[in-house]
A = this chain, B = another copy of it.
Amino acid sequence: MKLYDGGRAPNPRRVRIFLAEKGIQFPAGQIEQIDLGKLQQRSDAYTAINPMQRVPALLLDDGTVIAESIAICRYFEAVRPDPPLFGRGAVESALIEMWNRRAELHLLFPVASVFQHLHPAMKVMISPQVAEWGEANKPRVFEFLKFLDGELKGRPYLAGDAYSIADITALVAVDFMRVSKLSVPEDFTNVRRWHQAVSTRASAAA
């Protein structure tokens, strides 16, 4: 088994935090760093692994490749169910799926779009950069954080009383705001309390 990792980018970090929460450690020899700064994800060797040219990807011993962060996480959830990070039972699992998708669609993707379409360093990677689209995503980030702040008034984690994949997605998104030159407003006290709590878990260092 081999994990193709990608340094500080948000998606590889989602998987690393997930693995840390599961207590799964990859030996160094089973992790390969794909240097996004050097566009190694577009090399012929890596394109053969993931034709979408994105990280992370997981290569199983039989040659099967699992790409897409959440697909990789689901694989490990199935082989190591404890602690459950996608929930248990029909309702809890559905609510965690809902909150993970809300955190992606309304937070992680907009935060990433601000970076991808406005940062000069992304010019080589994102073609075409559409500055107007980058700007359009800024208010979306704050609208969702405001909504989330109201939700987190009544519970510790995004999907309820237990830490889940939805918290991992939201943590990675909030931390990536710095790179996108955005920050959580001071008065979103519930988001800040939640962020403090999830950031002090050992997994956040992953």
Which residues of A pack against B, CB within 8 Å? Answer: 51-52, 60, 64, 66-68, 70-72, 74-75, 78-79, 89-91, 93-95, 97-98, 101-102, 106, 128, 130, 132-133, 136, 147
Contact = CB atoms under 8 A, between A and B. Distances in A.
A91 B68 contact: no
B133 A95 contact: no
Copies in the complex: 2
Contact of A133 (B68, B74, B79, B130): B130
A68 B132 CA distance: 27
Contacts of A95: 64, 66, 71
Nearest to A127: B136
B78 A97 contact: no
Contact of A130 (B60, B66, B79, B130): B130
Given A52-B106, A130-B132, A133-B136, 17 more contacts: A51-B147, A52-B102, A60-B91, A64-B95, A66-B94, A67-B102, A68-B97, A68-B101, A71-B98, A71-B101, A72-B94, A75-B90, A78-B90, A78-B93, A130-B136, A132-B132, A132-B133
25 contacts: A51-B147, A64-B91, A66-B91, A66-B94, A66-B95, A67-B102, A68-B97, A68-B98, A70-B101, A71-B98, A71-B101, A72-B94, A74-B93, A74-B94, A74-B97, A75-B90, A75-B94, A78-B89, A78-B93, A78-B94, A128-B136, A130-B132, A130-B136, A132-B133, A133-B136
